Every structure is written in structure tokens, then in C-alpha cells.
Amino acid sequence: MQELLEMGNIEEEGQTVYAVAPYLTQGIVTPEELRRLADVAEKYQAAAIKVTEARKIAIVGLKEEDIDAAWQELGMKPEVAIGLCIRNVKICPGMAYCKMGLQDAIAVGTKLDERYHERELLREVKMGVSGCPNSCSDSRTRDIGLIGGRNGWMVYIGGKGGKTPKLGERIAVNIKEDKLFELMDQMLLVYSEQSDGKEIFEEYLSRVGVEAFKRQIDITLFI
Ligand code: SF4
């Protein structure tokens, strides 16, 4: 369902209906945008408004002839990051909205999203940013996960969900924001240049080993 939503059309009972899913930074939508989404859905008699697993809001069940007008009236950017790239970074409310938060997950997650959204890679890379070790954004089962600590960010790599879940390994603690983005850039650069083009991030790490990867990215520059 998710991929079909992103493609914009869905086969339903023998006929094709359409969905529009605007790009929402960090799943955040203003009250005014939410009202517009509802107005457009109602005006074009959409079947439903769906909150997707990727924290998007899709208007589903539109007719093909209404798609252009719906986008125009929404006045929002489409969700264009599909496939082999970094899609929405999953974040939690962090210290801005959660009393458990130790770091500002929304601020860091938003910066990561702006930095990497749509960046093309050989394979999709999933990221999670959690404001404290409770890890509500599943940071330890993402390719790259950040977890807020008292003195900075902990960085985990190589986690995955799915049928054979695996927890990522921690490679750095107490990383401050300025170094954090440099470290992220370096990890993605090495993965892009060194992987065989077919393996996902976790497979690449399993093949080379986390310790070797740390040497490849020269982790000592960041910790
Ligand atoms: S990870 Fe921590 S800061 Fe984020 S929502 Fe969960 S408890 Fe709150």
C-alpha cells in the first residue's frame, strides 16, 4: 500500500484511483495545511485521508482528472523521494516536546532531512533520530540511528527491522552537532564508494565488518 501511495495510483476493485501524498518535513503539518488537506479531500470526494507508516498524510481515492487541481489547491510539495535514496528521517518529539528528551531530535532530524532528502544512493538508507535512549524512533533498527545522550549524540549503525531484525552497533558517543553532520556525510560517502552497488547498508557493514568501517570513515576524526 505504501509504495502504491507514493506512486500516486492504486488499483481498487478493477479501477484505478489516485492518491496524493505531500512532502511533510518530519511528519509535521500545520493546522492550516491540515485544514487544506481536509478541504481538498472533501471537495474532490476522496475515499479517505490516510496517515502512512512513513508519517505522511495521503489523500486516497481521487479521480485521475482531479489530481492536478488537488495539487494546485493544496499548494504543497509532492513527496518525491522514492526508491534508492534517503527517505524521510524518522524522528521522535525529542526534548522540544517530550520530558524524557535529552537532545533536540526535531532540530537534528529536520536538518538531516533537508540535507539528505532525495539524495540518490545505490540503495535506500533508513535513518532514525531519538531524543533519548528510549529510542522511540527505532534508532537501533535503522541503517543509521542517532540517540540523544546527556552530552551529545550516540551513533548506531547497521540495524535493521523486518523478518530478521538486528540491533545496530554503537560507534560513537557524545557527538556534538557540528561533528555529527560531517560524520553522517562521511559514512554515506564511504558506503556509496565502497559497496558493490547491490548490498544494503547493513549487508555492506556485515561484509566489511564494523571495525573496518570505522577505519574507512576515520572515526577518530569525529570522536
Ligand atoms: S525517544 Fe525519548 S525523547 Fe523521544 S519520544 Fe521517546 S521518550 Fe521522548
Domain 2-74 -> CATH class: alpha beta
Q: What global pTM score does this model have?
A: 0.74
Structural fold of domain 90-221? Sulfite Reductase Hemoprotein; domain 1 (3.30.413)
Q: Indicate which atom in ligand 1 lies nearest the CA of residue 94.
A: 3
Ligand 1: centre distance to CA 132 (Å): 5
Q: Does the pLDDT of residue 204 top 80, yes or no?
A: yes
Residue with CA at minimum distance from ligand 1 atom 6: 136
Residue 157 burial (10 A CB sphere; 0-12, 13-18, 19+): buried
The predicted model gives 157-182 an average pLDDT of 95
Q: Is the beta carbon of 98 within 6 A of some atom in ligand 1?
A: yes
> Domain locations in the chain?
2-74, 90-221
- Which one, of 19, 89, 86, lies nearest residue 55 by Cα? 89
Ligand 1: centre distance to CA 134 (Å): 6
pLDDT, residue 157, reads 97
Q: How far apart are CA 31 and CA 37, in angstroms?
A: 10
Q: How far apart are CA 39 and CA 45, in angstroms?
A: 10
Contact predicate 188/125, CB 8 Å: yes
Q: Does the pLDDT of residue 111 top 60, yes or no?
A: yes
- Which one, of 51, 92, 43, 108, lies nearest residue 70 by Cα? 43
The predicted model gives 206-222 an average pLDDT of 95
